[in-house]
A and B are shown apart, each in its own frame.
Chain A
Amino acid sequence: MTPSYLLRRLFYGLLLMLGVVVLNFLLIRLAPGDPAVVIAGEMGGADEALLAAIRADYGLDKPVLTQLGIYIGNVLQGDLGQSFFFNQPVATLIGDRIGPTILLVLCAQVLSILLGVFLGVIAARKPNGVLSGFVSVFATIGYAVPVFWTGIMLIILFASVFPIFPVEGMQSVRLRDAGFMIRALDVAHHLVLPAFTLALIYLAQYARLSRASMLEVLGSDYIRTARAKGASERSVLFKHALRNASLPILTVAGLQFGNLISGALLVETVFNWPGMGRLAFDSILRRDYPTIMGVLFFASAMVVVANLLTDLSYRLADPRLRGKS
């Protein structure tokens, strides 16, 4: 891996981000509906003067390409603009929400990889066994079921029928002034259902992938050799086989990051999780252009960075790729 390779990847990443900004800008303006009417509607009614004032305040009276030029110029200077709806800097709104989204996405990612791989390995051990069949069925269902449906079912089961978990966001409002440990436990308590819901769909994919990958690796000569040497079954599975079988999992994990973020949008809405996904969802309904574009900008940046890191870690894990660019 050479520095020039890294620089080139970063350059491509930035180019991609620019494309994302332009595409988002144009797409959102193709949607029918006028943000000035929404703002005026939220204010309780309006007259032409107020609508004109709102359009002038937010630069909506200028030609679209001029608006695009101004926006790109501002983004390059680190200014994501002012939310039409909340009249606050978009960066502040996102800053308040990026932490909860990252927490949710990372927890879901870790949960899905750990549990998915574990299930896949167990299933690969006896590919025709009952457990393998269970994993296959579970994986298919997990993959097929819409994430919002799973979320609602979990809410009904674990928040309504058996009220074990809360549903009102990331923390209990009544525990705001409690000590750090109590609040951390409270957040963990709130995290269980949304993280599991988001993890479920990807967990299924990891389980299937690692099962297939393990089956392939377990048929290799070196595994037979390891077994012949008297290595324990656990050592064969988790030390010898899993390491080689993990390369495709690593690739998929990186590629799935973008899907996880889009899944988070639905999960955050269902569970009232105070993250960027919900902000994006609400902002689309309000035609709050700067906020939508700010969230998409951050989300695409996260995906670009995740892909870059995956690529780099893939090279670290597979010595054969290290010399190649």
Chain B
Amino acid sequence: MKMMTRLMGAAVIAASALSTAPLQAEGTLVIASSQVPRHLNGAVQSGIATAVPSTQIFASPLRYDENWEPQPYLAESWSVSDDGLSVTLNLVQNATFHDGKPVTSEDVAFSIMTIKENHPFKSMFAPVEAIETPDAHTAVIKLSAPHPALLLALSPALAPILPKHIYGDGQDVKAHPANSAPIGSGPFMLSEFTPGEAIVLKKNPNFFIEGRPVLDEIIIRIINDPSALLIAMENGEADVYPFMAGSQEIKRLGEADHLTVTNEGYAAVGPINWLAFNTKSPKLSDVRVRQAISYAVDRDFITKALHRGVSTPQRSPIIESSPFFDAAAVTAYDVDLEKAKALMAEAGFGDGMELTVDYIPGPAEQQKSIAEYLKSQLAKIGIDVTVRAAPDFPTWAGRVGGHDFELTMDVVFNWGDPVIGVHRTYLTDNIRQGVIWSNTQSYSNARVDEILAQAAVEGDFAKRKALYSEFQALVTQDVPIYFINATPYHTAYKKDLVNAPMGIWGTMHPMDRVHWSK
């Protein structure tokens, strides 16, 4: 008994000793994340889980400021030829990989061709025919057609420059062992990677930008449980929590005195939460039914009540924070139940119909809650909705990828330029069986195909914007998708963090300027 008392006493003393004052090593940044990366090579893997560490480990030709303007990075300058078919990158002279080997134009050429071959976003570098390397620090990208999305595709999140001497050994880059132990030329070097648990990055002392990075260390701590993650932020165990989307957690961390909570840093991600229609379904092939449903759903109720005001309405296939968004072009479908009923009657469904809605399992607020709201809301225009749950993501992906659905909630990212993240959803030639996040709506409009083909090669911003305006008008009239809201991604970070990464790519951007105020 005495022994047990002593043990318990010791445990309490140890606990209180460890729980006093946060033990914060100087210059360490702890990022809490619920996202689990498969590996750390963003050249062959998209997604925020890989991009956050990948953009610290690998440098890229360009980086972007908060105004969507390209800035020098590995390329100290660049130029686009008058015909738009050639882009010349002049590389910095002093950049080296973490193993000491210099970064050359050969590495740039190898990386861009590797990304073209292996990255799931095929449209990023599709027009790249060849990359010439006249000298060690000049790379000339040759294009088959002008490609205005190219400069954005050279961002850290999309174009990590790989060391050719490591990845060019003939192994499949998607399954290369170096993906879990990468060598890059970015501001931080990989120190430890425990899959599903933590990523430890140490300062690169030979980083090519003098005086950077400022931080000694970045630790990405993967915490799956949302409540544990919140407590870790509240208690100061973690310093930054990006990609937070739950209204409750946003509000709760917003009340913490030591934290700043912001929705900045997601402009390029462009996450859109939407309701997709299977236009091949006999019940939904008539555009009037899709329009009726759109008129019946109250977007404001969803953003203000279901999301407690943390999300913003989205009316377009292009995220509303993008320079290509055109509010005047879109049909917004402000709620109008009488019009919705009339459209249903016109389409021959005046007596109502039955529909099934799917949703991505997981945090409910953006998906399941809206699906359940649709059930009650669409009943008002005579539609009996069955909410079909999926036990897990693979089941949902199998249904939607296999076109075995009528309505589904979904969330899809714009990824900066419409060519990268928008076109895939609407092009007729991207209707693919078994492929999630392709044109699973089976939407086909010849004029839309034509506009997107033109916009992909139009170098003049104003003309390109006009094309995208027409595209937005057509898609919102055809409603293969009813756009609901921008996913309310927020970042919470400690107030004494200076230069917190809040540009267009947020934390998917090199954090070489980030530091503590004291």
* Chain A residues packing against B (C-beta within 8 Å): 32-35, 37-48, 50-51, 57, 83, 85-88, 93, 96, 114, 152, 155-156, 159-160, 163-169, 172-177, 185-186, 188-189, 192, 269-272, 274, 278-279, 282, 284-287
Contacts and interface: CB of A to CB of B under 8 A. Distances in A.
B395 interface: yes
A174 B235 CA distance: 13
Interface string B435-461: 111100000000000000000000000
Given A85-B38, A86-B196, A164-B19, A45 B424 contact: yes
Contacts of B363: none
Given A38-B397, A40-B436, A172-B237, A33 B392 contact: yes
B219 A173 contact: yes
Contacts of B30: 173-174
B395 A188 contact: no
Contacts of B32: 168
Given A164-B19, A174-B28, A34 B394 contact: yes
Given A164-B19, A173-B198, A41 B437 contact: yes
Interface of B: 4, 11, 14-19, 22-25, 28, 30, 32, 36, 38-39, 44-47, 49, 119-122, 172, 175, 179-180, 194-198, 200, 219, 221, 223-225, 227-228, 231-232, 234-235, 237-238, 392-395, 397-398, 401, 424, 432-438
Given A166-B237, A269-B224, A282-B196, A47 B24 contact: no
A57 B175 CA distance: 9
A164 B175 contact: no
Contact of A41 (B44, B200, B397): B397
A40 B120 contact: yes
B223 A168 contact: yes
A215 B434 CA distance: 64
Given A38-B393, A168-B238, A172-B237, A46 B195 contact: no
6 contacts: A45-B437, A47-B122, A166-B232, A169-B221, A173-B221, A270-B228
Given A41-B397, A44-B46, A167-B232, A272 B435 contact: no
Contact of B11 (A45, A188, A278): A188
A66 B234 CA distance: 51
A222 B197 CA distance: 56
Q: Please give me the 9 A-B residue pairs with the lowest Cβ-Cβ distance, nearest first.
A: A33-B394, A44-B46, A167-B228, A45-B120, A44-B120, A86-B195, A45-B437, A189-B18, A173-B219
B120 A50 contact: yes
Contacts of B393: 33, 38, 41, 285
Contact of B194 (A96, A271, A282): A96
A152 B237 CA distance: 18
Contacts of A186: 18
Nearest to A167: B228
A167 B46 contact: no
A33 B18 CA distance: 44
Given A87-B180, A167-B228, A282-B36, A48 B397 contact: no
Given A270-B228, A278-B224, A279-B196, 8 more contacts: A42-B45, A43-B38, A88-B195, A174-B25, A174-B28, A192-B11, A269-B225, A270-B225
A87 B46 contact: no
Nearest to A283: B196
Contacts of A167: 225, 228, 231-232
Contacts of B119: 44
B281 to A, nearest CB: 21
A159 B223 CA distance: 15
Contact of B235 (A35, A46, A166, A192): A166
Nearest to B198: A173
A87 B38 contact: yes
B436 A169 contact: no
B436 A41 contact: yes
A143 to B, nearest CB: 23
Contact of B45 (A44, A152, A155, A192): A44
B223 A272 contact: yes
A32 B399 CA distance: 10
A173 B191 CA distance: 13
Nearest to A285: B392
A272 B231 CA distance: 12
Contact of A169 (B4, B22, B197, B401): B197
A216 B278 CA distance: 69
Contacts of A192: 11, 15
B231 A159 contact: yes
Given A37-B401, A155-B228, A165-B19, A47 B435 contact: yes
A167 B231 CA distance: 7
A48 B432 contact: yes
A186 B121 CA distance: 44
B19 A163 contact: yes
Contacts of A279: 196
A88 B435 contact: no
Contacts of A271: 225, 228
B338 to A, nearest CB: 40
Contacts of B394: 32-35, 37-38, 285-287
B56 to A, nearest CB: 16
Given A173-B219, A272-B228, A160 B175 contact: no
B232 to A, nearest CB: 5
A163 B4 CA distance: 24
Contact of A51 (B38, B180, B435): B435
Contacts of A93: 195
B305 to A, nearest CB: 26
A234 to B, nearest CB: 10
B39 A45 contact: no
B259 to A, nearest CB: 15
Contact of A168 (B18, B195, B232): B232
Contacts of A169: 197, 221, 223
Nearest to B237: A168
A38 B398 CA distance: 9
A210 B432 CA distance: 63
A2 B196 CA distance: 46
B298 to A, nearest CB: 30
Contacts of B22: 174
Nearest to A274: B197
Given A33-B394, A33-B397, A152-B227, A87 B19 contact: no
A274 B221 contact: no
Contacts of A287: 394
A239 to B, nearest CB: 15
B221 to A, nearest CB: 5
A26 B226 CA distance: 33
